[in-house]
Structure 1
């Protein structure tokens, strides 16, 4: 709410100072939209090229964070670990076919004993993808401790290519 109010005040001030109010307003709106689309926390935005598919997962706890991203067929993933984006490599996969992914995936980090297991339950089919009805990310530390993070998300493909 505060962000919206601040953005509205800033747009009004820019428009009042400009010799061409329409141009200033358009620039202020574009800047506001760009700021609103950037996440305050979580992984940075990810892009897919035409023809590429990706798996996007968000944590269920408030505040909801973008916590996992993988491109289909790349064998790599990006996960939010200790509030930091961490690259992982595919170690194993199984379960049922879920578009270009499988419902059970295991990734390994740079630490020898660090593993991350992803388990998803497919949901509603969408145009160009499918929802992840529910799922978990299981973080397994070098000391054997396990942390479970409930997730939801979507697998989606960019048209073209």
Structure 2
């Protein structure tokens, strides 16, 4: 009986203790050891430019898609590598509840990436892209689907038209 009381007391005290999260190792550190890339490095968004940022919804939230709308360029992490693509300007009114979609054809990899979701609330950081999915259509027709978290933001707070190419 005495061991049961000690275990019960330990559980009660543990429930009252403030949990301090253990520091997590950076995602890139583990991936560098294996030679595979699991996440994009931090990206900077210059003044006057707008961008889209997407992370995996599962923890740890890996940064896997970055589109600089103003420069018409996207970086995606796929199959252990970073794929950089030019993109066609894709405008969308950021109205809460409206659908969101971006297409990123990658003919050099014989893949088509797409991100779909719903325009969410506007925060101080930008507009959330909710219930978002990253899809990768493979040459065989198979599709990989991954839930993601998204944010669209402009460095100055106002959209800038994409530069002509």
* Range of TM-score over shorter length: 0.5 to 0.7
> Kindly tell me: are residues 2 and 126 of structure 1, through their superposed partners in 2, closer, same or farther at Cα, counting changes over 3 Å?
closer
Q: Is the 8 A contact 2:55 2:63 kept in 1?
A: yes
Whole-angstrom distance in 1 between the partners of 2:129 and 2:76: 17
RMSD between superposed Cα atoms in Å: 2.9
Quote how far apart the aligned CAs of 1:89 are.
3.2
Q: Is the 8 A contact 1:97 1:103 kept in 2?
A: no
- Partner secondary structure for residue 97 of structure 1: coil
Q: Greater strand percent: which structure?
A: 1
Say which one has the larger Rg.
Answer: 2
TM norm structure 2: 0.64
Whole-angstrom distance in 2 between the partners of 1:66 and 1:3: 15
Query: Structure 1 stretch 104-113 or stretch 76-85: which is displaced more?
Result: 104-113
Aligned to 1:74: 71
Aligned to 1:126: 123
The structure 2 residue matched to 1:88, chosen from 77, 81, 85, is: 85
Q: Greater helix percent: which structure?
A: 1
Structure 2's unaligned 5+ residue stretches are: 1-21, 30-37, 161-165
The structure 2 residue matched to 1:117, chosen from 114, 119, 123, is: 114
Pairing of 1:138-153 with structure 2 (within 5 A): 138-153=135-150
Structure 1's unaligned 5+ residue stretches are: 5-35
Are 1:97 and 2:71 matched, yes or no?
A: no
